Structure 1
Amino acid sequence: MSALALLLLAGCTSSPDFRQVSLPVPDSTTVAPARPTAAQRENARILASYGGIYDSTRLQALVEQTVDRLVAASERPDLKYKVTILNSPAINAFALPNGQLYITRGLVALASDKAELASVLAHEMGHVIAHHAAIREEQARQAQIISHVVNDVLSDPNAGALALAKSKLTLAAFSRAQEFEADGIGVGISARAGFDPFGASRFLTGMQRNADLKSTAAGNDPRALDFLSSHPATPERVKNALANARQFSGPGAAGARDRNDYLDSLDGMVFGEDPSEGFVRGRRFVHPKLAFTFMAPPGFTLDNTSQAVLGLKEGGGEALRLDVVTVPAEQTLTAYLKSGWIENVDQASVEDTVINGFPAATATATGDNWSFRLYAVRFGSDVYRFIFATKTKSAQADKSFRDSVMSFRRMSLKETSEIHPLRLKIVTVAAGDTQEKLAHRMAVSDRPLDVFRVINGLNPGDKLTPGEKLKIVVE
């Protein structure tokens, strides 16, 4: 998706969260509609990037009923909205100027009641009501003009970099101002619709906790993405949302949350990645539809994105990328590795090899701070590229990369048929239940107690009340 197209989307709830979308599956049967409108093109891009539509009659009805209630209480009850639930574990939502709203099932799973869901939907409606997409398009166009001048006109690289940085800062600040405005509009709509106006602050807090959990797991600083983010830092938004909510009532004094009804609607919902589009289980990546699997080197955390499977070793000293490309059948894999798609390949290192019966080739390359081990594996009609990187070149690192690519293999029909998605299960707290006891039932290998707390909005010292409903993740 182009930078301009991304800026036209009012994508609002994404904090420093790492998108976990599916590895793309080549599909030669799709026929583009004749003369698609701009909205149709954006819709197609969003669906392709976020796993398509999540098909759940129960959840769709819940979301549509919430939107209808919000529309009736909004400044523009005449506007029509259509909501699509995206089949992605990412925490995100979008609005197009024509009233098309998108929320991911990851967002629905993170929310703990209808007021939290309503706060997100009302926020997106706020973007539509305030015509933010049209305003942002003009700002993006100006930024593109500046970029063009920097790239094609300015001869002084320092002056060019400064001009481009200033344009990006202006655009980022403008976007943050839009987010705050949409937050204010959204809280007002939610409150007038009878929802707890503090749903926004609760959801934003949960979103930040989720982002912090993922950032910590990946060895990244969760604050690093705030500076040029198109969204304000979440602590700022929480503070702003609380101030907006206090204009309508005190915490818990008024407004519906409908927690139990909301959680009942989530029972059985797919959680995390959809196995049919590839998923991560610890160090292992599995793609049942494409029928392959591989294991990352020890110490790696994997992330399945829309473009590639990415991996990072704890400490950040090693990384990997797996993606899929089309290479003509008549072109050898050694010739492909030498073709220039990656720079500084050591020509003498290029050689043919075989990976579990599949023709392959390997080579090494160097960069300013990284050394690379490359593999190209012909699997069916496509070529799978493994790019391993290390800051410290060693025989041990090279062996771990080789062991990882040697784990790449075709899955059997039996294996693919036995793979099932993780799902949310709504449980009722019994006497004697603790956070630790319920977290022990979670089918999550990495930090299950932390995940349990995040998806339920719980803090370490919170006591569970018998009879209350909570989410757990099961196979």
Structure 2
Amino acid sequence: MTSRFLLSALTASLLLSGCATNPVTGKREVMLVSKGQELAMGQQSDPAVTAQFGLYPDQKIQAFINDKGKQMGAISHRPDLAYQFRVVDSPVINAFAIPGGYVYFTRGIMAHFNNEAQFAGVLGHEIGHVTARHSAKQQTNAIIGQVGLMGAMIASPRLAQFGEQAMQGMQLLFLKFGRDDESQSDELGVEYSSKIGYDANEMADFFQTLQRQQQQSGAEPIPDFLSTHPNPADRYARVHQLAAQWQQSNGKPKLAVNRDQYLRLIDGITYGEDPRQGFVENNAFYHPELKFQFPVPQGWKHQNSPQQFQMADPAGKALMMLMLAPGATPEEAAQALAKQFSLQVVESRKLTVHGFPAVAFVADQVQQDQQTGQQVAGVRVLSYLIQDGKTMYALIGAAAPADFAGYAPVFTSTMEGFQRLTEANKLNRQPEHVRIRTAKAGQTLAQNLTANGVPAKRHEEMAILNGMQLSDKLGRGLLFKVVGK
């Protein structure tokens, strides 16, 4: 049997055995993930998502998303699902869903909505991903792609050598929803938000906020044909059209916007990065709550989350991270870390880092060479386990064995720079919050911002946050947002 015939037989078998009816379209389609598996995927992934971002601690906002989410889930194409809704503690403007009915909004996107109708439209969009089983279809595509890859590996022993990396690349390829899925979810966002009484035109207006935010951040817009998400400008026009069609076909019902109610709800929400969770300044990472600091290599990219702090060499040849480690002593923590990452320790030593007990070790993460069957060092690691009272920190640096010697001094300098944070201006750093203010009659947004102490250099940022232009005249008593400590 040839590899080409084997590939065809495997794919055909999957296609024949894996058909299911899509709850939204009513059409039969290839679906290799059962509803039970879909639910299990969500239940397994949810703890990791919440641990990665942390939940935003505001009960009234969480109650709001739960109430609207349950209401919308009940009128969706899958009312039987036990939907779960979370607001996560991230400044990024984003909302996303995972299989099984788990829907997440960041505090960043909650801060940028200007009324309940905008929120409801995006909520409907994310529930639409769930009801149309886009995550399950995405997983099916990945499975079929891997079957195709297996066929190619049989045909080409050389490709088989890189099979594991290629499969990882295949999974990344299907990481985002396709443009067709996004467009379908926009349609469902209009339908669902309208059915629970909101004006879906506001959902379209929010796409302008996204477009302006992208332009202000300096990010290069992605050409339409390269993007999995439709262009925000195109989505603006299309969603307005969909909203008008829905309203026309349903007798032009009176639909809510609820601007003031929403702005009062988010009054005080944390805006931007929260320095209490750690921040980078002048090539150093500071954590006011945990009271430590260490240097960040010049030019390295970095990303912070409640679970870990990551740093990456711009050339992509090395990375470092800080995370918590289990164990009562540095020695116990080192053993647990080595087991967790399947590391074979090459050398180890005890030391003290700025008064903190520590263990440092060099280790290899061993992989099997698929051609020879022999074990080879895939990655070499330097790790420092540092004890601060009952807390154990793991600082980990990793690079390919051939590059490790060149990066080892950078790793060491960062890890041995770990020390107690004592500077008052760092320890007392506070986040900014959205504050709701009332406009004076006859003044523009720019004039109202100035009257509330917003510096001119932040006026455009505040205009985007409010979904307005700086020249817009605000009526007496109109609520608007400013940002302050």
Q: TM-score, normalised by structure 1?
A: 0.65
Amino acid aligned to 2:90: S
CA contact (8 A) 1:50 1:306 kept: yes
The residue that corresponds to 2:201 in the other structure is 198
What SS is found at the alignment partner of 1:450? helix
**Retained in 2: the 8 A contact 1:280–1:304?**
no
Cα gap change, 1:301 to 1:179, in 2 (>3 Å): same
Amino acid in the other structure paired with 1:242: H
User: What residue is the counterpart of 1:429 in the other structure?
Assistant: 439
Q: Name the amino acid aligned to 2:243.
A: A
Counterpart of 1:126 in structure 2 is 128
Structure 2 counterpart of 1:187: 190
- Asked whether the 8 Å contact 2:445–2:470 carries over to 1, the reply is no
Instruction: Tell me the residue number matched to 1:21.
Output: none
The equivalent residue for 2:27 is: none
The one-letter code of the counterpart of 1:190 is S
SS in 2 for 1:247: helix
Alpha-carbon offset, residue 202 of structure 1:
1.8
**Per-residue deviation, 1:168:** 7.6
Matched AA of 1:221: E
Equivalence for 1:384: 395
**1:402 shift after superposition:** 11
- The answer as to 2:483 corresponding to 1:473 is yes
* Residue aligning to 1:16: none
Contact 1:283–1:302 (Cα < 8 Å) also in 2? no
SS at match of 1:248: helix
- Cα gap change, 1:284/1:165 in structure 2, threshold over 3 Å: closer, same or farther? closer
2:451, 2:295 → 1: CA distance?
25
* Paired position in structure 2 for 1:84: 86
* CA–CA distance in structure 1, aligned partners of residues 193 and 107 of structure 2: 21
Q: What's 2:46 paired with?
A: 43
Deviation at 1:357, TM superposition (A): 5.8
Q: Percentage identity across aligned positions?
A: 28
Which structure is larger by alpha-carbon Rg, 1 or 2? Answer: 2
Structure 2, unaligned runs of 5 or more: 1-38, 343-349, 363-381, 400-408
Q: TM-score, normalised by structure 2?
A: 0.64
- 117-126 vs 241-250, which deviates more? 241-250
Aligned residue identity for 2:466: N
1:244 aligns to 2:254 (yes or no): no
Deviation at 1:137, TM superposition (A): 2.2
Return the letter of the residue paired with 2:205. Answer: R
In 1, are the aligned partners of 2:153 and 2:159 still within 8 Å (CA)?
A: no
Give the whole-Å Cα distance in 2 for the aligned partners of 1:193 and 1:66.
9
Structure 1: stretches of 5+ with no match in the other structure? 1-35, 342-351, 364-373, 389-398
SS, match of residue 473 in structure 1: strand
How many Å apart are 1:267 and its aligned residue? 0.8
1:440, 1:449 within 8 Å by CA — same for their partners in 2?
A: no
Verify the 8 A CA contact 2:76 2:131 in the aligned structure 1: no
| Residues 157-176 of structure 1: pairs in structure 2 closer than 5 A | 171=174, 175-176=178-179
CA contact (8 A) 1:110 1:207 kept: no
Change (3 A) 1:79 1:44: closer
Higher normalized helix content (fraction of residues): 2
**2:220 corresponding residue in structure 1:** 221
Partner of 1:209: 212
**1:50 counterpart letter in structure 2:** F
CA distance in 2, matches of 1:222, 1:312: 24
Partner of 1:462: 472
Is the deviation greater in 115-124 or in 282-291? 282-291
* Aligned partner (choices 144, 147, 151) of residue 146 of structure 2: 144
Secondary structure of the residue aligned to 2:481 is strand
Residue equivalent to 2:368: none
Q: Which amino acid aligns with 1:110?
A: H
Q: Is the 8 A contact 1:146 1:164 kept in 2?
A: no
Read off the aligned partner of 1:248 and give its amino acid letter.
Answer: W
Q: More displaced, 139-148 or 276-285?
A: 276-285
Q: CA deviation at 1:468?
A: 1.6
**What is the deviation of 1:224?**
7.9
1:292-349 Cα offsets, whole Å, 9 max, x none, are: 2356688888642577646799x99999865348699569x9xx9xxxx9xxxxxxxx
- SS state at 2:482 partner: strand
